[in-house]
A and B are shown apart, each in its own frame.
Chain A
């Protein structure tokens, strides 16, 4: 580093410093060697990720224009847009899409509100904060299957906690078969999803809160701002980047909800809790209908990429370089 500053004084230049003439060739070859090494090192990651994303993407696209039921033994035939036509007329896809969107909006709203409350709480100093943070964070680390099974148990009419406590407190709904009705099943699913994912929301928001310097609140208080005003005018705007990241992540995951659905309700009662991912699972791995499944998959990918595009915009790739 210092060599570069001293360069004008003499010829004692390190190879990293720019030098004209015959040395330029050596520099070029070093750059080429550096690049070659870089490409070799980055290649395995890119190849693996391409194989498991780009390949399914194009395969789904191709398949979605064909009739291809793998178990039938009949080779795939050209189907035009019939799979897409079926999607919009079969009374499965559109209702599933509506349910998925509805669940996404409600769950993200609930998790944001509770997550923000949790983050604001954890942002204040109190004895035992580290322990409390670990305690509320544990649900995020458990498998989604666990959160689903655990809440299925909690909501069970015979062995559950929910009906037991409702009965003990003489509250209504004490004899509800939660997973047996459409809206009560959705309530149970929402609880299972929010219980596991609110901590994630809170942790991201807490990280955002912790980079806000404390003295701006001091200044605001001196200027006569109340707590609510300080929250609205200072905290929320400064929290916006972290909030964006958390929102987009959670929106995508909520939109793709699957594990909780299949473990708690299997889309039931009837198809009233069937969502897009569940529909795609049924098409692929129950019916082995890769044409229709491909069309549903393309729809899922398009939605996911739209959400991801918003994320990449918010994230700005240059900052890591």
Chain B
């Protein structure tokens, strides 16, 4: 009787019939499969990075790490190879280039996003279409001509070459996102500021930017991830190992030795993954909103 009463108390469709229980279990199994498929490879590289070379030589014998050594991490960070490759240095190079590219992206996209959404310039449609189209340009098709241009300008093997070229990854998305973001802010704010005697640029800096911080933050995080992840342009423009970025260093570690040292490569892989993984964990919503802003319209 109490069971029947309880069942009646629940909204319709929540009866725990065997079929429903099975469906629930199947649903959670599906979730488990997705999570394991996403995360297990990370587990595998972490335990491989903690193995010694002699353990690796014996092949895979267990799913557990066994004897743990941090030797590969200290090797990567302290040792410089005969070719002049030091992974710690390349991490630093990546950080410099990605952070600079992010800063430039934010400045350019704030200005152009503001112009597109808040001034009455002609040709907004064509400008936006061009910016969008630029984001579709094949990186490899650009690599050759830009290689020659940078060589001519003396910018090969120079951070600047990467910072400029990374705009192709970051600027289209950033401009679109910020143009859209600014257009949703109330117009009265800056009108009030300009009536009070501020110039437009002052109004942008003192009134619009402070309330646009979340949008700017989104653009900065996405820009950093996109710049951090580049491989193609670093391969094209950076010639000496002391100027490599971290992804290029991983490629070099995997292809310039007689023997593949999976533990050392995987330690590098773990170190390069950590910053972006943390960004996803702590700024998931922001990243997703930045990526989907376009898709939702």
A residues near B (Cβ < 8 Å) are 1, 16, 31, 34-35, 37-42, 44-46, 48-49, 51-53, 55-57, 59-60, 63, 70, 117-118, 121, 124, 126, 130, 132-146, 149-154, 156, 158-161, 163-164, 195, 199-200, 203-204, 207-208, 211, 241-242, 245-246, 252, 256, 258-259, 262-263, 266, 277, 280-281, 283-285, 290, 293-294, 296-298, 300-301, 304-305, 307-308, 311-312, 315-321
Asked whether, in the complex, the Cβ of B129 is within 8 Å of the Cβ of A317, the reply is yes
Give per-residue flags for B227-271: 1 if the beta carbon is below 8 A from chain A beta carbons, else 0.
Answer: 011111001100000000011101100110000101001100100
Residues of B within 8 A of A297 (CB): 138, 140-142, 144-145
Give per-residue flags for B112-150: 1 if the beta carbon is below 8 A from chain A beta carbons, else 0.
Answer: 101111011110110111111110111111111111110
Query: Number of residue pairs across A and B with beta carbons under 8 Å?
Result: 323
Give per-residue flags for B142-167: 1 if the beta carbon is below 8 A from chain A beta carbons, else 0.
Answer: 11111111000000000000001101
Asked whether, in the complex, the Cβ of B136 is within 8 Å of the Cβ of A211, the reply is no
Smallest beta-carbon distance B56→chain A, Å: 6
Asked whether, in the complex, the Cβ of A141 is within 8 Å of the Cβ of B120, the reply is no
Asked whether, in the complex, the Cβ of B296 is within 8 Å of the Cβ of A70, the reply is no
Can you name the residue of chain B whose Cβ is closest to the Cβ of A308?
A: B136
Residues of A within 8 A of B236 (CB): 284-285
Asked whether, in the complex, the Cβ of A311 is within 8 Å of the Cβ of B136, the reply is yes
Partner of A56, one of B145, B176, B284: B145
Interface assignment of B48: CB less than 8 Å from any CB of chain A: yes
CB-defined A-B contacts under 8 Å, sample of 30: A34-B200, A38-B121, A42-B111, A45-B175, A51-B164, A52-B134, A52-B137, A52-B164, A56-B142, A59-B149, A135-B38, A135-B39, A143-B272, A145-B247, A150-B269, A153-B44, A154-B41, A195-B38, A199-B38, A259-B231, A263-B250, A266-B255, A277-B139, A283-B144, A294-B144, A297-B138, A297-B142, A304-B141, A317-B129, A318-B125
Given A41-B112, A259-B232, A280-B138, 9 more pairs with CB closer than 8 A: A42-B127, A137-B280, A144-B247, A145-B229, A153-B265, A259-B231, A301-B137, A321-B124, A321-B125
Residues of A within 8 A of B117 (CB): 320-321
Asked whether, in the complex, the Cβ of A56 is within 8 Å of the Cβ of B273, the reply is no
Residues of A within 8 A of B28 (CB): 126
Which stretch from B72-80, B81-89, B210-218, B285-293 is at the chain A interface?
Answer: B285-293
List residues of B (78-113) whose CB comes within 8 Å of A's CBs.
Answer: 108-109, 111-112
CA distance in complex: A319, B37 (Å): 38
Interface assignment of B281: CB less than 8 Å from any CB of chain A: yes
Asked whether, in the complex, the Cβ of B229 is within 8 Å of the Cβ of A142, the reply is yes
Residues of B within 8 A of A139 (CB): 38, 41
Asked whether, in the complex, the Cβ of B119 is within 8 Å of the Cβ of A158, the reply is no
Residues of B within 8 A of A153 (CB): 44-45, 48, 262, 265-266
Smallest beta-carbon distance B95→chain A, Å: 14
Residues of B within 8 A of A151 (CB): 41
Secondary structure type dominating chain B contacts:
helix
CA distance in complex: A301, B27 (Å): 43
Partner of B136, one of A38, A141, A262, A304: A304
Partner of A154, one of B44, B56, B175: B44
Asked whether, in the complex, the Cβ of B120 is within 8 Å of the Cβ of A31, the reply is yes
Closest 7 CB pairs of A and B: A38-B119, A38-B121, A284-B144, A308-B136, A297-B141, A41-B115, A207-B292
Asked whether, in the complex, the Cβ of B144 is within 8 Å of the Cβ of A136, the reply is no
Contact flag A159-B130 (CB < 8 Å), given A42-B121, A52-B164, A146-B247: no
CA distance in complex: A242, B225 (Å): 23
Asked whether, in the complex, the Cβ of A48 is within 8 Å of the Cβ of B108, the reply is yes
Interface assignment of B69: CB less than 8 Å from any CB of chain A: no
Residues of B within 8 A of A262 (CB): 235, 251
CA distance in complex: A252, B133 (Å): 12
Asked whether, in the complex, the Cβ of B265 is within 8 Å of the Cβ of A149, the reply is yes
Residues of B within 8 A of A63 (CB): 144-145
Asked whether, in the complex, the Cβ of B144 is within 8 Å of the Cβ of A60, the reply is yes
Residues of B within 8 A of A200 (CB): 291
CA distance in complex: A320, B180 (Å): 6
Asked whether, in the complex, the Cβ of B138 is within 8 Å of the Cβ of A146, the reply is no
CA distance in complex: A62, B124 (Å): 30
CA distance in complex: A140, B277 (Å): 9
CA distance in complex: A137, B147 (Å): 34
Asked whether, in the complex, the Cβ of A37 is within 8 Å of the Cβ of B295, the reply is no
Interface assignment of B2: CB less than 8 Å from any CB of chain A: no
Residue of B115, B148, B255 contacting most chain A CB atoms (<10 Å): B115
